[in-house]
A and B are shown apart, each in its own frame.
Chain A
Amino acid sequence: MEPIIQVEHLCKSFEAKGGTVEAARDICFSIEKGDIFGIIGLSGAGKSTLVRCLNLLERPTSGTVRVHGKNLTELSEKDLRKERRKIGMIFQHFNLLMQRTALDNICFPMEIAGIRKKEARKKAMEYLEIVGLEDRALSYPAQLSGGQKQRVAIARVLASDPDILLCDEATSALDPQTTRAILGLLKEINQKYGITIVVITHEMSVVQEICNKVAVLDEGVLAETGTVEELFRSPKTEAARKLIFSGRNQIQEMKGKHLIRVTFENKSSFEPVIGNLVLEYRTPVNILYADTKNINGQAEGEMILQLPEDRDIAEKMIVYLKNIHMGVEVLSADAGY
């Protein structure tokens, strides 16, 4: 099947005061229909620029962006506007029209599409019900909370009946509870309406919560792409590791040699893996960190272990863990983890 979004050799540079800034360098990836695709990176990694290249709010310096097989960079202004109607976008700061009620905000894309006012209003009410805000139809954005504003923005996006929804840090201005609710709503939209979702975020937790695939962006370069499980189990790049470890301050205090990161699936957690390991080699290991995370509804566990000083035993232990299908990654002590 043809991917719904296909990005090839995309480059974007800006002229800034200090010279040319390369916000995206030779980026290639594709997104399949129905995916919830995460693009994660630290701030300044070029995520926002990249997502804006997907609907050509930013025109790429070079490279192509294909949506439904159509190369957007070659479309006329008019055709591009038509394509954009099929690509919804929500933003960190919601970007609602402040002088319009929630209902009229949702009517806006339908006005653009030339739908009659009466019909638009009727549909807008339905979309408000989907996001659970039917009682706030006549409220102005200033009277709504952040989470409610984002719900209105989502309803507004649904009103243009899109195939794709781009989310630019859509939950970054919200508290954790509201974030979870909005992410839940996005997931529901993905499943119910089959809308492909692209999520731009700097938070690994957002990716873990809803994405099935993820691309790691680091200083304008695509560091790695894959499924969320793959990234979590065996991050291949420094950038990915940093993102996985972000928000875990205690790691920085873990000094010493022979640190490994062990990841395991739900079913393995029933076996006393560490106990067996210690019994097998008659040498204690030090558990520095342990946690389970919910990734796409599956519990994934991770642990940071300090293996014995003896290199021989340490290496044997790694082989042992790998043999019982644990994800094992050796962390270098000087890497700052």
Chain B
Amino acid sequence: MLDTDTIMMLVEGTRDTLYMTLMSTLFGYVLGLPMGIILTVTDKDGIRPNAAVYKVLDVIVNILRSVPFLILLILVMPFTKAVVGKTYGSTATIVPLVIAAAPFIARMVESSLKEVDPGVIEAAVSMGAGTGTVIWKVMLAEARTSLLVGVTIAIGTILGYSAMAGTVGGGGLGDIAIQYGYYRYETEIMIVTVVVLVVLVQILQSIGMMVSRKLDKRK
């Protein structure tokens, strides 16, 4: 049952899944990290309160987060086509994954940054630190452990989403599980796929936690 072809397929699937997950996480942070920072900074207790900016971003994030991923996947197909040139395959899947992940990442970043002791921020301001310095050297630096835990959670969640994208030809392990396990009743391949997914999540989770623990100097 697990002949060379199947194993090759699984290896490729794993590669595609990792590619989608990591690229989506990366671009998700490219969008989500600034959003999270702006949400924190412009909030009424932030260092640059701005009710209008906060509210607009807050609503956008909430709307995007309320749309179920599967619906989003289909809704953004025209946009995906415009960006990537096609709507199937792993590269195409990155587009909806990023759109789904960014607002979720923004919220996690926001909650991490809000954990930073306001007293430490006040101390930095009292030393004459500007907004940029406070964000970069105080907020992000002090919250780094929490931010890394967030990255780990984001990777796990995006991995799950990427498997879901398999249903619409997204490629990767999710695709294989659906194609073989669901449509062709090859339960064994489905089980193997799921096991690979579980192992992947475990590995990524452990690495993330290890790094964040290493970087935490608060104990």
Contact = CB atoms under 8 A, between A and B. Distances in A.
Contact of B141 (A85, A97, A112): A97
Interface in B63-121: 117, 119-120
B62 interface: no
B125 to A, nearest CB: 6
B127 A112 contact: yes
Interface string A256-295: 0000000000000000000000000000000000000000
A152 to B, nearest CB: 12
B4 interface: no
B122 A57 contact: yes
B133 interface: yes
Contacts of B125: 57, 84
Interface string B193-219: 000000000000000000000011111
A99 B122 contact: no
Contacts of A227: none
Interface in A189-220: none
A99 B123 contact: no
A108 interface: yes
Contact of B126 (A87, A111, A140): A87
Given A81-B128, A91-B123, A95-B119, A142 B142 contact: no
B132 to A, nearest CB: 11
A142 B217 contact: yes
A37 B137 CA distance: 33
B109 to A, nearest CB: 17
A130 B142 CA distance: 27
B218 A89 contact: no
A95 B127 contact: no
Interface of A: 55, 57, 81-85, 87-89, 91, 93, 95-101, 108-109, 111-113, 140, 142, 160, 166
Nearest to B122: A57
18 contacts: A55-B126, A57-B126, A81-B129, A88-B127, A91-B123, A93-B117, A93-B119, A95-B119, A98-B120, A99-B144, A99-B145, A99-B217, A100-B141, A101-B217, A111-B133, A112-B127, A112-B133, A142-B218
Interface size class of B (residues with CB under 8 A): 20 to 34
A215 B108 CA distance: 46
A112 B219 contact: no
B41 to A, nearest CB: 15
Nearest to B216: A99
B114 to A, nearest CB: 16
Nearest to A93: B119
Given A84-B126, A87-B126, A142-B217, A108 B119 contact: no
Given A91-B122, A91-B123, A98-B217, 11 more contacts: A55-B126, A81-B130, A91-B119, A95-B122, A97-B141, A99-B144, A99-B145, A108-B124, A108-B137, A112-B127, A140-B217
Contact of B142 (A85, A91, A97, A111): A97
A95 to B, nearest CB: 4
Closest 4 CB pairs of A and B: A95-B123, A84-B128, A85-B128, A95-B119
A169 to B, nearest CB: 12
Contact of B127 (A85, A93, A99, A101): A85
Contacts of A81: 128-130
Which of B119, B125, B127, B133 has the most CB atoms of chain A within a 10 A radius of its CB? B127
Nearest to B119: A95
Contacts of A85: 127-128
B138 interface: yes
A109 B126 CA distance: 10
A82 B128 CA distance: 6
Nearest to B215: A99
A95 B117 CA distance: 8
Contacts of A142: 217-219
B126 A99 contact: no
A88 B126 CA distance: 7
Contacts of B142: 97-99
A98 B129 CA distance: 17
A271 B13 CA distance: 98
Given A81-B128, A84-B128, A98 B123 contact: no
A93 to B, nearest CB: 6
Contacts of B127: 84-85, 88-89, 108-109, 112, 160
Which of B133, B215, B217, B218 has the most CB atoms of chain A within a 10 A radius of its CB? B217
Contacts of B137: 108, 111
Contacts of A99: 141-142, 144-145, 215-218
Contacts of B216: 99
B77 to A, nearest CB: 43
A91 B159 CA distance: 45
B119 A112 contact: no
Contacts of A84: 125-128
Given A91-B119, A140-B217, A142-B218, A97 B126 contact: no
A232 to B, nearest CB: 31
